[in-house]
Structure 1
Amino acid sequence: MIRVKKYWGMFMIIVRIMNNNAVVALDNNENEVVLLGKGIAFQKKPKQHVNPDKVEKKFVLQSSNELHYLEELIRSIPLSYITVTNEIVQKAQELLEADIKEDSLFITLVDHIAFAIERKKSDDYLKNPLLIEIQKFYSNEYKVGSIALDIIEKHTGVRLDEDEAGYIAFNIINATLKAGSSDVKEVTVVIKHLISIIESHYQLELKINSVYYIRFITHLKYFLYRLFSNEENSNDEYLYKVAKKKFQNEYDCAKKIATFLKEKYNFSVSNEELGYLMIHINSMILHNGK
């Protein structure tokens, strides 16, 4: 079911008709917008008003290039792909506690799904090199990706491979963060390295179902995004001094992490961040598997 957005009181004028289900229109502020909805252009012509009851999705784009790209994309895909993408975006909003950039996610996702279905029909398999890491470090987003495979099959009859659940999850992750897609990939790889450092330091295998492991991964993600985004952070020496005194083994482990980040990426980890790392590592190791 497509979530219908009503635009009461908005008298938009059709500028161009892309197909029976999509138009470019002028809104009340004379901005060009893309409007989607089943039969929105049926028996309509340019310069006529849009029926607001037909509007299911509205895009206000930032540039003519974005508008041209979206027009070409919509002209080339079936309505079922739009229905599928809307449903997946809704599911992501329902299941994830995150601020999702909905329009950005819709555009990237509908494009990806269209190509994924084409590849599947052509028996062109695309392996996801980060699938295991996405499953481990972004389990909630991966869950949405898995549900998305069912949604796609329901509307198109095409069953995509498990790797595509990872790619869909990746698109969702990117839509919830300020970082760019390259940073998301890099952070995922870095987390893998940091977990290896911790497991090597303690000579054990971390249990990924532990709530403390999940909390630590969440902390790592936002810690690394701050580093990749060059965001400044406070430097509370008190937390660092208390943690260092209480958790000597965790301090040694956190210093290995800081050394890796400095040597590999030239990132400087503040003492406050070291303090937080020590606390999270201690909780995770103490409750490993619980």
Structure 2
Amino acid sequence: MNTLNRNYKVKRILNNSSLIASDLFFEVVIMGKGIAFGLKPNDTLKRGVEYDKMYKLLTQTNEFNRIINGFDDHIVDMVMDTVAAIGSHGYRELQTQHFITLSDHLAAAYTRILRGEPIVSFFSLEIKALYPQSYDRAVELAKTIESKHDLKIPEAELTYIALHIENLTSKHASTQLDALNVLIGDINELLDLTYHVKFDRNTVHYSRFLTHIRFIIEGALANKRTLSSGVNEALISAYPTHVEIAGKIIEMINKEMNIQLDNNELSYLVIHLVNILGDPIEYDENPSQ
């Protein structure tokens, strides 16, 4: 809990737990349980008041005002409650630009949900597999929003929220998360267009494969046990097509992620591919054109 070190003039009430205020120099968003209750524009939020989070808008003032002025009060209320819930779980501190980006996304998403418009996430299963803890946290957050605002958040939107949470909890930059998701899409496209096979995305084997790819990229497999040369040779001999696919995946990872993988990694990928695609490989009868 923090304490205000100066007086602020209230500019706008967002909900009972958040408001926009200003001093002589800049506007801020101040968040804290019940901090805005009973206040109105032009009131003074006095020095010494306790709060949870503060975001200095500075050059982003117009951007944030565009967001809150473009949506009705109910949407703004839900957005601020969601941001507060994310911030209360001890994640890495939201920077102002992240706060604005998240608010903008949530406002648009909640508007679509209330209108009954579909929300599409092309990587819902992948995100659930790659970031299970962040997804579970998104589910818990959604339960809170549903209970308070009677809004059912669809699974597609949960995965987007999970990505935002992952970006706060992970040491990896958002660009690396984007690159990882692009890589998974490229692998699926390679299998579909070149080999006319599709992953069964609903299996535990697929989830394990995705987790393995994630760990490769994060360098978490650097100290794993090396397979014996005999096992490597047996795998390469027994599964030539799987080896070819695994080799192309490694080339893709090396090129897109600037990571150099050795032959030992090839064998581990072959094992995953055998589990996912079967042996012999089950080819798609209606490949994409």
By how many angstroms is 1:257 displaced? Answer: 1.6
Question: For residues 109-148 of structure 1, what are the structure 2 equivalents within 5 Å?
Answer: 109-148=102-141
Q: Which residue in the other structure is 2:29 paired with?
A: 34
Tell me the secondary structure at the aligned position of residue 158 of structure 1.
coil
**Alpha-carbon distance, 1:23 to partner:** 3.0
Kept in 1, the 8 Å contact 2:12–2:41? The answer is no
**Counterparts of 1:137 and 1:194, CA distance in 2:** 20
Deviation of 1:11 (Å): 0.9
Deviations 1:122-181 (A, max 9, x none): 222232222233334433333333333322221211223332222222333344330337
**Cα-to-partner distance string for 1:205-237 (whole Å, 9 max, x where unaligned):** 688436xx65653341254478xxxxxxxx99x
Question: Which runs of 5 or more residues in structure 2 are unaligned?
Answer: 278-289
> What are the equivalent positions in structure 2 for 1:269-280 lying under 5 Å apart?
269-272=259-262, 274-279=263-268
Q: Return 5+ residue gaps in structure 1 as ranges.
A: 1-5, 94-98, 227-234
1:66 maps onto 2:66 in alignment: no
Please name the residue that 2:12 is paired with.
Answer: 18
Does the 8 Å contact 2:183/2:253 carry over to 1? no
Write the distance in 1 (CA, Å) between the matches of 2:215 and 2:56.
Answer: 29
Q: Does 1:102 align with 2:91?
A: no
| Aligned-partner Cα distance in 2 for 1:270–1:241 | 20
Structure 1 residues 47 and 141: CA distance shift in structure 2, 3 A = closer
Q: Per the alignment, in what secondary structure is the counterpart of residue 2 of structure 2?
A: coil
| Matched ranges for 1:38-53 at <5 A | 38-40=34-36, 42=39, 45=42, 49-53=46-50
**Deviations along 1:75-134, whole A, 9 cap, x unmatched?**
65433431233224545x5xxxxx645346654333323222221222222322222333
Matched, 1:256 2:248: yes
Aligned partner of 1:155 in structure 2 is 148
Match for residue 178 of structure 1 among 173, 176, 184: 173
Contact kept, 8 Å, 2:142 with 2:153, in 1: the verdict is yes
After TM superposition, the score normalised by the length of structure 1 is 0.63
Encode CA deviations 1:61-81: one digit per residue, 9 max, x unaligned.
5xx332432344356543343
Following the alignment from structure 1 to structure 2, what is the Cα–Cα distance between the partners of residues 90 and 16?
A: 23
Tell me how large the CA RMSD over aligned residues is. Answer: 4.7
Contact kept, 8 Å, 1:33 with 1:58, in 2: the verdict is yes
In the alignment, structure 1 residue 87 sits paired with structure 2 residue 79:
no
Matches of 1:105 and 1:155, distance apart in 2? 24
Q: 1:102 to 1:252 in 2, by over 3 A?
A: same
Instruction: Report the more deviating stretch, 242-251 or 134-143.
Output: 242-251
Compared with structure 1, are the counterparts of its residues 154 and 108 closer, same or farther at alpha carbon in structure 2 (3 Å cutoff)?
Answer: farther
| Contact in 2 for aligned 1:23/1:40 (Cα 8 Å) | no
* Alpha carbons of structure 1 residues 56 and 118: separation in structure 2 relative to 1, 3 Å: same
How many residues were matched structurally? 256
Question: Alignment identity in percent?
Answer: 16
After TM superposition, give the deviation of residue 194 of structure 1 in Å: 7.5
